[in-house]
Amino acid sequence: MARLTAENLQRARQLVALYPHPRSALIPILHIVQEQDGWLTPDGMAHVGELLDIEPAEVYGTASFYDMFFTHPVGRHLVSVCTNLACLLNGGGELLEHAEARLGVAAGGTTADGEFTLEEVECIAFCGAAPCLAVNWRFFGNVSNDDFDQLVDDLAAGRLADEVPPHGTLCRVRRRVGLTAGVPAGPPPADDAKPAQGSAQ
């Protein structure tokens, strides 16, 4: 499996530049690896190790601490059903059972077509809408069994492609600037200098 593509390598290097110490960029870069391949491939992790000058074992050890990282392949849609207290009180357990039946896999499993991985998760901070779940970390609240079936149909049919990107894609907004505070900019601003788009309104 794959090392980082040239474009992603470039993104990774930009991330490294944001931190006082390169290793701080490890987790953000692992999100890029997971965005690229859907999971953390051994080659991807080894490449990140090279980039940050740390052992692959450290990359793997660190990644494995975190629930969002998968070191084995998962489905294109990661369905995360919460069963923690607020959801438990509002039928989260039953929702999970329904999801297992509907997808035909137990929590932790992936459907044969590789479309869905179902997991039971801890509180996803959406308790006002319990029972709730997330698909690739896009949140859905007050989910009834029927809602769930509809959701699965929509996802499978690609009707939610805009709202729910493939598994691994976390933040679609990219940072546009590097660090600027320490970069001396031309002449010091005049006293009455107005910030770029200051009081436009």
Partner 1 sequence: MITDAKPIVTARIGVPESWTLRAYLEHGGYDGLRKALTMDRADVTQEVLTANLLGRGGAGFEAGKKWGMLRKAEPVYLVINGDESEPCTFKDHMLLEEDPHEIVEGTLICAYAVGASQAFIFVRGEFALGLERLTAAVNEAYAFGAIGRNILGSDFSVDLVVHPGAGAYICGEETALLESLEGKRGYPRDKPPWFPAVKGLYGAPTVVNNVETMSNLPWIVQNGGAAFAALGIGRSTGTRIFSVSGHVKRPANYEIEMAKTTFRDLLYDPKLGGGIRNDNELKAFVPGGVSAPWFGPDQLDMALDQDAVGKAGSMLGSGSVVAMDDTTCMVRAAWRITRFFHRESCGQCTPCREGGGWLDKVLRRIELGQGRESDLDLLLDVCDNIAPGLSWPPQKTTICVLGPSIPSSIVSGIKMFRDEFLVHIKDGRCPFG
Partner 2 sequence: MADPVNITVDGKVLEAKPGEMVIAAAERGGIYIPRFCWHPRMRPVGMCRMCLVEVKGPRGFALMPACYVPVADGQEIVTDSPKVKKAQDGVLEFLLINHPLDCPVCDRGGECPLQDQTFAFGPGESRFVEEKRHWAKPIPINPLVALDRERCIQCSRCTRFADEVAGDAMIDFVGRADQTEVNTFPQRPFTSNFSGNIVQICPVGALTATPYRFRARPWDLDVVESTCTACAVGCRMALQSSSNRLVRHLGVDSEPVNHGWLCDKGRFGYEMVDNPGRLRQPLVRKGGALVESTWNEALDAAAQGLARVRDSAGPGAIAVLGGARLPNEDAYAWAKFAKGVLGTDNVDCQLGDGLPAEVVLGLPRATIDEACGADAVVLLAPDIKDELPVLYLRLREAAVDGNLKLIEISPQGTGLSRHAEVRLQYRPGEAATVIRALAAEQVPADGAGGVSAGDIGAAAEVLGAAGSVVVVLGRPSLAEPADTVADAAGVLAAAMPNATFLPALRRGNVHGALDMGLAPGLLPGRTSLDDGRAWFAEAWGQVPGARGLDAAGILQGAAGNGIQALVLVGADPASDFPDRTLARAAMSGGAFTVVVDLFGGDGAFPDADVIFPVAGYGERPGTTTNLEGRVSRLGQKVTAPGTARPDWMVPAELAFRLGGDLGFSSLDDIAVEIERLAPAHAGLTPQLLSRPGYRDGIVVPIEDLQPTATDRPKEHIEVTANKAHLGQVIPENDPEADAPLAPLAGDPPPAPAAPDRARPPLLRFRPAPPTRPAPPVDAYSLRLVASRPLYDAGALVQRSPSLAGLADGPCLRVNPADLGRLGVASGGRVRVTSSRTSLVLDVAADARVLRGSAVLAFNTIGEGAAELIDLSQPVTDIRIETVGPSGREREA
**Site residues (CB under 8 A) for partner 2?**
42, 45-46, 53-62, 64-65
Question: Should residue 137 be labelled a site residue for partner 1 when binding is judged by CB under 8 A?
Answer: yes
Side-chain half-sphere CA neighbours of 156 within 13 A: 14
Q: Which residues, 6 or more positions from 13, have their beta carbon under 8 angstroms from its beta carbon?
A: 51
Binding map of partner 1 across residues 72-91, x = CB under 8 A, - = no contact = --------x--xxxx-xxx-
From the list 94-102, 103-111, 147-155, 176-184, the region that binds partner 1 by CB under 8 A is 176-184
Site string for partner 1, 7-46 (x = CB under 8 A): -----------xxxx-xxxxxx-xx---------------
For residues 46 and 129, which CB has a smaller minimum distance to partner 2 in the complex? 46
8 Å CB contact between 99 and 81: yes
Binding partner of residue 19 among partner 2, partner 1, none, CB cut-off 5 to 8 Å per kind: partner 1
Token pair belonging to 44:
């991807």
Rounded Cα distance between 54 and 62, Å, is 11
For residues 92 and 84, give the distance between their C-alpha atoms in angstroms, rounded to a whole number: 8
* 187 interacts with partner 1 by CB under 8 A: no
Helices of type H across the chain: 6-16, 26-37, 42-52, 56-63, 85-89, 92-103, 145-156
**CB of 112 or CB of 177, closer to partner 1:** 177
Work out the angle at residue 16's Cα, subtended by the Cα atoms of residues 12 and 19, and round it to the nearest 5 degrees: 150
Tell me which residues touch partner 1 (CB under 8 A). Answer: 18-21, 23-28, 30-31, 52, 61-63, 65-69, 80, 83-86, 88-90, 122-130, 134, 136-139, 170-177, 179-185, 188-189, 191, 193-198, 201
